[in-house]
Structure 1
Amino acid sequence: METRRSGEVIVVGGGVIGLTTAVVLAESGRRVRVWAREPAERTTSAVAGALWWPYRIEPEALSGEWALASLAVYAELAERPGETGVRMVEGVQAGLRLDELGVWAARVPGLRETRGGEGGYAEAGLWARLPLIDMPVHLGWLRERFRAAGGVEEERSVKDLAEVHDLSGADVVVNCTGLGARDLVPDPAVRPVRGQLVVVENPGITTWFTSAEHSAAQTTYFFPQPGGLILGGTAEEDEWSLVPDPVVAEEIVRRCAVVRPEIAGARVIGHRVGLRPVRDVVRLDREVLVGGRVLVHNYGHGGAGITVAWGCAGAAARLAGGDGS
């Protein structure tokens, strides 16, 4: 057993939730180590689309506040897109109206209803200028920011959260394990929702588009990223396969080409599959264990982890005894 290190925090999980939480804790003056079984570039976060939007996440009131806190951070990071991977990009959420959204929507700058035909899109919906994040770049930037704040990353597999305090000697452990929480907590309420994407050479599209019912298994969206146009997608509940389905890929391209015909002839350059860690409600709370040791849970963000990452990180840091501001 390692020597006890009073005041140290172990963050378990190296995706966008874990790294953002680790950054906030480290910059508040805590000594922080991240334990992750795989590097950030191999996590679900790395394959995300990744547009800021509170998609399939509960509870609505809290998630709206977390999302708005994150939006403020991303708007600032977008001033350095090459460094942070964050850009502010315009686009349409087709088929949505403002009165269908929570109170958070009124605080999104420039979010407005649009008639069909605006921006070249036939469907009416909502027009907005939102953060669109190049996740490989952003995850790398988070890691560097964490290290600059004195944080340390360790590649370690955790099989029992209860043992992390003893193995590390830390006073506080923050559980940001996403889908892994299903076995580690254990919490059977965490389930995978499989998302498949296709990456094509961008034929010149500069705005994003989404058309997705909240509970639909098939969605239609595309996001212009520096490495290509990301096409989606799927939301298959309780599916665990990480192998791209070629039939599904063809259907994704076809649906996107209905919206923008030039996509039909775009060369396919890659396929991505990720498992969103969905829970009926996000778990963000604090347990006090034997001996006064603290376990903070921060998981179950589904497809909106990027959207709420900074807001949840601040809340988790406060639960852990850090500043979190």
Structure 2
Amino acid sequence: MSEDVTGRGGGAAGADVIVVGGGVSGLTTAMVLAERGHRVRVWSAAPSSATTSAVAGALWWPYRIEPQDWVGDWSLASLRWYEELAARPRETGVRLVDGMHRGERLAALGPWAGQLDGVVETAEGLRCRLPLIDMPVHLEWLERRVRAAGGSVERRTIASFDEAAAEARTVVNCTGLGARELVPDSGVRPVRGQLVLVENPGIEEWFTEADPASSETTYFFPQPGRLVLGGTAGADDWDTVPDPRTAREIVARCARIRPEIARARVIGHRVGLRPARDAGVRIEAEPLPGGGRLVHNYGHGGAGVTVALGCAEAAAHLVG
């Protein structure tokens, strides 16, 4: 049973590509394919507002993602696109915002870092002006782009990719954590992220401090109408219920950087499960019974937004 939520009568019929997954990877891939002339349907078990992508703090930065040989190109392709979208922030949800990556050093990053404009290395870390994406707005904008190109977005839960293959010759797998069971791929695992939303006490710049060896991170991102505080990186933790003690610790860590955060009114709590994969991102095609093709685009870890367009273009290349 599916529900066409495109707002267009009959828009779901006659697709040659079905993209399974309605988060940022799925919608960006569907947009690229639809704008290249494919008839595309997106099948998503949940509305975009209920996906992991909607929870993301969404600062552009390659974080917790492999393989390094490809991540740089994917990230830079997405960066240039976001820089263009930032000219229309209310429409696209993308803004360019200044901030600090405390503890980062250019020499410790990949070759991609040499392509960044305006990065200043200080004794404290890296000062940068980077895309910061308001994900609920951006996801809605992506859906509109898909529809404008003739695609559709439907609520549909599947137990097998065969269900999609029965209705389209090409299926694109953008299911994130769902790939663990659907592929199946036991190397897919969650990295739990908990966030606290507070009223912004006047902070205009973002801040991050992350130790890859620790499950605790410290960051805050000024989004429209809220300040997003984080965070955690709990590997193999499937718990989607916010933990009150963890929330207090997040606020305390952020307040050590900006004391006014301690007095900010809490307006919400969020938990998202980053879809990590032991072997890194998988962008690969394989045949389906009956002569169809299954194209994989999953395993983006903590950088699904950062590589969204780059990976979408790579997957679209495999679709043909």
**TM-score w.r.t. length of structure 1:** 0.93
How far did 1:215 drift?
Answer: 3.1
For 1:90, the equivalent position in structure 2 comes to 98
How far did 1:289 drift?
Answer: 2.6
After TM superposition, list the pairs within 5 Å mapping 1:1-325 onto structure 2: 8-115=16-123, 124-166=124-166, 168=167, 170-280=168-278, 281-321=280-320
- Counterpart secondary structure, 1:306: coil
Q: Distance in 2 between matches of 1:178 and 1:158?
A: 14
- Counterpart secondary structure, 2:83: helix
Gap runs ≥5 in structure 2 = 1-12
How far did 1:162 drift?
Answer: 2.8
The code of the aligned residue for 1:125 comes to G
How far did 1:176 drift?
Answer: 0.2
Q: Distance in 2 between matches of 1:236 and 1:7?
A: 39
The code of the aligned residue for 2:28 comes to T
How far did 1:89 drift?
Answer: 0.2
The code of the aligned residue for 2:300 comes to H
The code of the aligned residue for 1:13 comes to G
How far did 1:6 drift?
Answer: 8.2
Gap runs ≥5 in structure 1 = 116-123
Distance 1:34 1:254, change over 3 A: same
Q: Distance in 2 between matches of 1:239 and 1:109?
A: 36
For 1:119, the equivalent position in structure 2 comes to none
Segment drifting more, 145-154 vs 281-290:
281-290
Relative to total residues, which structure has the larger helix share, 1 or 2?
1
For 1:121, the equivalent position in structure 2 comes to none
Say if 1:21 and 1:313, in contact at 8 Å, map to a contact too.
yes
Q: Distance in 2 between matches of 1:265 and 1:7?
A: 52
Q: Distance in 1 between matches of 2:319 and 2:46?
A: 24
The code of the aligned residue for 2:239 comes to S
- Counterpart secondary structure, 2:64: coil
- Counterpart secondary structure, 2:304: helix
Say if 1:6 and 1:171, in contact at 8 Å, map to a contact too.
no
Say if 1:12 and 1:176, in contact at 8 Å, map to a contact too.
yes
Say if 1:172 and 1:294, in contact at 8 Å, map to a contact too.
yes
The code of the aligned residue for 1:238 comes to D
Q: Distance in 1 between matches of 2:162 and 2:287?
A: 12
Q: Distance in 1 between matches of 2:202 and 2:289?
A: 58
Q: Deviations over 1:104-156 (max 9, x none)?
A: 000011123123xxxxxxxx001100000000000000001110000011111
Q: Distance in 1 between matches of 2:59 and 2:27?
A: 18
How far did 1:53 drift?
Answer: 0.2
Say if 1:17 and 1:313, in contact at 8 Å, map to a contact too.
yes
Say if 1:91 and 1:209, in contact at 8 Å, map to a contact too.
yes
Q: Distance in 2 between matches of 1:7 and 1:151?
A: 8
Say if 1:55 and 1:214, in contact at 8 Å, map to a contact too.
no
- Counterpart secondary structure, 1:307: coil
The code of the aligned residue for 1:304 comes to A
Say if 2:100 and 2:208, in contact at 8 Å, map to a contact too.
yes
RMSD of Structure 2 on Structure 1 (CA): 1.1
The code of the aligned residue for 2:160 comes to D
- Counterpart secondary structure, 1:131: strand
How far did 1:61 drift?
Answer: 1.9
For 2:7, the equivalent position in structure 1 comes to none
The code of the aligned residue for 1:291 comes to G
How far did 1:227 drift?
Answer: 2.1
For 2:6, the equivalent position in structure 1 comes to none
